[in-house]
Amino acid sequence: MPKKRKTRVVVQVDPGGSHEVFLRGEGVTPLSWEKGAPLRHEKPDEWVFETDELFSTGEFKVVIDDSTFELGENHRLYPGASIRINPKFPGGNI
């Protein structure tokens, strides 16, 4: 059985006020396209998703308040990866 490695996504965005940041996607538990997984708020402009679940590959988008999707292509995610992204949203900053 393969060793579990932590996979980490750091999203750099300041949604302002009481807005929250989510990921929607597939291939990685708990991501789905129907309902977002909330990210942990670590700094004013930094939100984090971490998992040590085993998966082959996944893809996702960043979503503000689980309703406003970021612009552009889906992000790819590989097990054990640590990535930092700066998503763009319709109308500029949220």
Whether the CB-CB separation of 19 and 93 falls below 8 Å is answered with no
Tokens 């942990």, located at residue: 40
Burial label, 55 (beta-carbon count in 10 A; 0-12, 13-18, 19+) = middle
- pLDDT tens digit string along 43-89? 989 999 999 998 999 999 999 999 999 999 999 999 999 999 999 99
CA distances from 50 to 56, 91, 92 (A): 16, 28, 27
Whether the CB-CB separation of 58 and 24 falls below 8 Å is answered with no
- pLDDT tens digit string along 26-49? 999 999 999 999 999 999 899 999
Structural domain boundaries in the chain: 7-85
CATH 2.40.50.100 fits 7-85, yes or no: no
